[in-house]
């Protein structure tokens, strides 16, 4: 049992963190690089949460999640271009389409186990990517440009100052984090973990693996899809290479893995570590074309898999468990 002082301390720390995050933009108003980096951290953390529901809690590793990101982005963008649909509604639509796609993919694929499933997700994502580059109606390889509208919350576009994007992303991250935290404690979360750890046993207790996995997939895909919509509104331009590429799917998986799959803090930790490494190494090593950030990622992942498969979150948890295990 965690002593009450600990809980209070934790809450205070959390409040402090939230406070800092809320006022940070004022310090960053003329530092677009850092501001944008924060937005990217929030977005990736959110995507990581989404992936985590399926990969961490349900134990189904997907390396094709970019598919849902892209579908979300394309749905809202196409609806905006063809029907003038408001991007917030587009976000709902994008999330819904992504979730539906997740279920469609899951129905056949969940019959596969372990590595088969991983490869199936890879294959599906790559197929959709190739199809989109050849599909003229969604712009093919040329992509889609969102029209520049009057800026404001209604249109989800901000031109002169990117700070509102920061708050929107932060808000979305907070909402998803709260949701995942709740999910973890809920019965559904418990069942998912049971299925992950021992599917046979869980099944024998009467829990249907498929329905639960499909639900997890829908949630996972839906969250990632709404992230895609946000991205589309942020850049105002999408093409298959920026929202559907396999390399992007890899990043979506890497972040929660590094941070700690199956934990609430994992995706956030992963994003906090990986995004700055990527950003700063790009800026510092510009002109060498040497991919230093990927070199570091890859090495970190290998290190984590060997020493701390629980990811960075595992580092903290192990400490706490050790401390609590003091006999006496």
Partner 1 sequence: MSEHLLVQLFLSGIGMGFIFALIAIGLTLIYGVMNVVNFAHGEFLMLSMYASYLAFATWGADPVVTLPFVAAMMFIFGLLVYYVLVRRVMRGSMNAQIFATFGLMVFLQAAAQFIMGADYFAVRSGVLSGVLEVGSFTLPAPQLAAVVGASTATGALYWLVFRTGTGRSLRAASQDRQAASTLGIDVDRMYALAWGIGAACVGVAGSLLSNFYPVFPRVGAMFVLIAYVAVALGGFGSIHGALVAGVIIGLLQVLAGFFISSQLKFVPVYLLYLIVVLVRPRGLFGRL
Partner 2 sequence: MQTRIPVVRCIVSFCLAFWLGLAHSADEVRIGALYPLSGQVAKSGEDTVNAIRLAVDIINNKHPDLAVPFAATEGLPALGNAKIVLIVADHQGSPETGAAEAERLVVQQKAVALIGAFHSSVAATSSQVAERMGVPYISGESEATTLTERGFKWFFRTTPSSRTQARDFFTFLRELNKRSKDQVRTLAVVHENTLWGQEFAKSVEGYMPEFSDFKLVADIGYQQGTADVTSEVQRLIAAKPDVVFHASYDAEAILFARTYKQYKFSPRGVMAIGAAFGSSAFREALGPDANFYLVREHWSRDLASKNRAVAQVAKLYRDRYGKDMDGTPARAFAAMMTLADAINRAGSADPKKVRDALAATNLAPDKLIMPWTGIRFDQTGQNDLTRGIFVQTLEGAPRMVWPFDQAAAKLVWPRPAGR
For binding to partner 1 (CB under 8 A), which residues are involved? 59, 61, 63, 108, 111-116, 118-120, 122-124, 126-127, 130-131, 133-134, 246, 250, 253-254, 257, 261, 289-292, 294-295, 297-306, 309
CB of 56 to partner 1, least distance (A): 9
Euclidean distance between CA atoms 133 and 128, whole angstroms: 9
DSSP string, 8-50: HHHHHHHHHHHHHHHHHHHHTTT-HHHHHHHHHHHHHHHHHHH
The answer to whether 72 and 94 are in contact (CB under 8 A) is yes
Q: Which does 88 bind (CB under 5 to 8 A by kind): partner 1, partner 2, none?
A: none
CB of 26 to partner 2, least distance (A): 11
Q: Which does 309 bind (CB under 5 to 8 A by kind): partner 1, partner 2, none?
A: partner 1
DSSP string, 261-325: TTSSHHHHHHHHHHHHHHHHHHHHTTTT---HHHHHHHHHHHHHHHH-TTHHHHHHHHHHHHHHT
Euclidean distance between CA atoms 54 and 262, whole angstroms: 9
CB of 130 to partner 1, least distance (A): 6
Q: Which is nearer to partner 1, 151 or 279 (CB)?
A: 279
Q: Which is nearer to partner 1, 110 or 231 (CB)?
A: 110
CB of 297 to partner 1, least distance (A): 6
Euclidean distance between CA atoms 81 and 190, whole angstroms: 42
Q: Which does 261 bind (CB under 5 to 8 A by kind): partner 1, partner 2, none?
A: partner 1
Q: Are strands 144-145 and 237-238 parallel, antiparallel or unpaired?
A: antiparallel
Report the SS3 class of residue 152.
strand
Q: Which is nearer to partner 1, 80 or 281 (CB)?
A: 281
Binding site for partner 2 (CB under 8 A): 30-33, 36, 130, 133-134, 140-143, 145, 148, 159-160, 162, 231, 234-237, 239, 241-242, 282-283, 285-291
Q: Which does 59 bind (CB under 5 to 8 A by kind): partner 2, partner 1, none?
A: partner 1
Q: Which is nearer to partner 2, 232 or 304 (CB)?
A: 232
| Among candidate residues 179, 322, 190, 324, the one with its CA nearest the CA of residue 264 | 179
- The tokens 């933009």 sit on which residue? 25
Q: Which does 298 bind (CB under 5 to 8 A by kind): partner 2, partner 1, none?
A: partner 1
Q: Which does 184 bind (CB under 5 to 8 A by kind): partner 2, partner 1, none?
A: none
| Among candidate residues 280, 282, 303, the one with its CA nearest the CA of residue 291 | 282
Give first-to-last CA distance, the chain, whole Å: 15
Q: Which does 14 bind (CB under 5 to 8 A by kind): partner 1, partner 2, none?
A: none
Q: Which is nearer to partner 1, 117 or 231 (CB)?
A: 117
């Amino acid at each position: 049992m965690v002593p009450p002082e600990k809980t209070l301390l934790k809450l205070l720390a959390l409040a402090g963190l939230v406070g800092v995050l809320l006022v940070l933009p004022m310090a960053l108003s003329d530092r677009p690089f850092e501001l944008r980096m924060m937005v990217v951290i929030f977005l990736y953390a959110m995507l990581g949460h989404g992936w985590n529901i399926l990969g961490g809690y349900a134990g189904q590793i997907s390396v094709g999640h970019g598919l849902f990101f892209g579908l979300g982005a394309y749905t809202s963008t196409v609806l905006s271009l063809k029907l003038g649909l408001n991007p917030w509604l587009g976000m709902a639509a994008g999330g819904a389409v992504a979730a539906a796609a997740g279920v469609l993919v899951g129905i056949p694929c969940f019959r596969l186990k372990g590595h088969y499933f991983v490869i199936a997700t890879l294959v599906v994502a790559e197929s959709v990517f190739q199809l989109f580059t050849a599909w003229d109606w969604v712009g093919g390889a040329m992509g889609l440009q969102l029209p520049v509208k009057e800026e404001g919350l209604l249109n989800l576009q901000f031109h002169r100052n990117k700070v509102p994007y920061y708050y929107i992303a932060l808000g979305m991250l907070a909402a998803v984090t709260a949701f995942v935290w709740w999910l973890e404690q809920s019965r559904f979360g418990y069942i998912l973990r049971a299925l992950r750890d021992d599917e046979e046993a869980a099944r024998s207790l009467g829990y249907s693996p498929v329905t639960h996995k499909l639900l997890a997939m829908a949630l996972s895909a839906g969250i990632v899809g709404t992230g895609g919509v946000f991205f589309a509104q942020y850049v105002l331009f999408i093409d298959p290479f920026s929202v559907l590429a396999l390399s992007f799917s890899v990043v979506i998986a890497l972040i929660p893995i590094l941070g700690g799959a199956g934990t609430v803090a994992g995706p956030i930790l992963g994003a906090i570590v990986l995004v700055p490494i990527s950003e700063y190494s790009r800026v510092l090593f510009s002109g060498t074309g040497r991919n230093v950030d990927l070199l570091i990622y890859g090495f970190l992942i290998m290190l984590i898999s060997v020493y701390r498969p629980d990811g960075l979150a595992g580092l903290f948890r192990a400490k706490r468990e050790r401390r609590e295990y003091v006999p006496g």
